[in-house]
Chains A and B, each alone.
Chain A
Amino acid sequence: EVQLVESGGGLVQPGRSLKLSCVASGFTFSNYGMNWIRQAPGKGLEWVAYISSGSSYIYYAETVKGRFTISRDNAKNTLYLQMTSLRSEDTALYYCARSGRGFDYWGQGVMVTVSS
């Protein structure tokens, strides 16, 4: 069974940093591209970042480019999102999602709240 489990969220002040993790199991993690997708409270889905299976290709949404860094450790089956210079508009539930046939598996999400 494919499982994606996010962690690392919480309440953080504007301008500070936070690092999210997503541990994968039930599939060969190193064979798949991975994504972070977020959902602000009561809003729709916003894709944040993508990393290819071997980390050769990395893409970001313009709203986070230069502030967020996606990375992965295939030996640990773990996806990361380093978030810096956080803003109130980054407040959202952050999902990791596998790139397969579309975004075919999603984690349960981790909440990030940016507030003073």
Chain B
Amino acid sequence: DVVMTQTPVSLSVSLGGQVSISCRSSQSLVHNNGNTYLSWYLQKPGQSPQLLIYKVSNRFSGISDRFSGSGSGTDFTLKISRVEPDDLGVYYCGQGTQYPPFTFGSGTKLEIK
């Protein structure tokens, strides 16, 4: 199984600031078809997870350009710029390249200072 390791476990940021969340996979997430199926999700308090980023760097419909994804192979990063109050919650990375099983990171909790 592909193990997804997220760091940090939690972080605190001031409004308007910028944060980065790291996600590392135990195996390359490059699929045979050349795509890399690494996604980022945000679970706001009391809500279902929502897709932010798919295939490393593609923002899902309606997602602000303050969210950006990057990386390749086994190392990936989610950056959030100009942090807003509505950004708080738990961020998860997930892989859909080598399945089953689909696997998620353990989450990064973002708090607003």
Interface residues of A (CB under 8 A from B): 35, 44-47, 50, 59-62, 95, 99, 101-109
Task: State whether B48 touches A101 (Cβ < 8 A).
Answer: no
Query: Are A103 and B49 closer than 8 Å at their CB atoms?
Result: yes
Tell me if B103 and A104 are in contact (CB < 8 A): no
**Closest Cβ neighbor of B49 among chain A residues:** A106
A-B contact pairs, 27 of them (CB 8 A): A44-B92, A44-B105, A45-B41, A45-B43, A45-B92, A47-B101, A47-B102, A47-B103, A50-B99, A50-B100, A59-B99, A59-B100, A60-B100, A61-B100, A61-B101, A62-B101, A95-B49, A101-B51, A101-B54, A101-B60, A102-B37, A102-B39, A102-B51, A102-B54, A102-B94, A103-B41, A109-B48
Complex: A61 Cα to B100 Cα, angstroms: 7
With a cutoff of 8 Å between Cβ atoms, the chain B residues found around residue A62 in the complex are 101
The answer to whether B100 touches A106 (Cβ under 8 A) is no
Within 75-102 of B, Cβ neighbours of A (below 8 Å) are at 90, 92, 94, 96, 99-102
Band of interface residues on B: 20 to 34
Nearest 4 A/B pairs, CB to CB: A102-B39, A59-B100, A101-B54, A47-B102
Max count, chain B CB within 10 A of own CB: residue among A45, A102, A103, A105: A102
**Who on chain A is nearest to B50 by CB?**
A106
Chain B residues lying within 8 Å of A60, measured Cβ to Cβ, are: 100
Asked whether any CB of chain A lies closer than 8 Å to the CB of B106, the reply is yes
Q: Which residue of chain A lies nearest to B102 when distances are taken between CB atoms in the complex?
A: A47
Measured CB to CB, the closest approach of chain A to B42, in angstroms, equals 11
Say whether B55 faces chain A, with CB atoms less than 8 Å apart. Answer: yes
From residue A33, how far is it (CB to closest CB) to chain B in Å?
10
Shortest C-beta distance, A47 to chain B (Å), equals 4
Q: Which residues of B contact A108 (CB under 8 A)?
A: 48
Q: Kindly provide the distance from the CB of B62 to the nearest chain A CB, expressed in whole angstroms.
A: 11
Question: B39: shortest Cβ distance to chain A, in Å?
Answer: 4
Question: Which chain B residues border A47 with CB–CB below 8 Å?
Answer: 100-104
Shortest Cβ distance from residue A80 to the other chain B in the assembled complex, whole angstroms: 19
Q: Is B72 close to A, CB under 8 A?
A: no
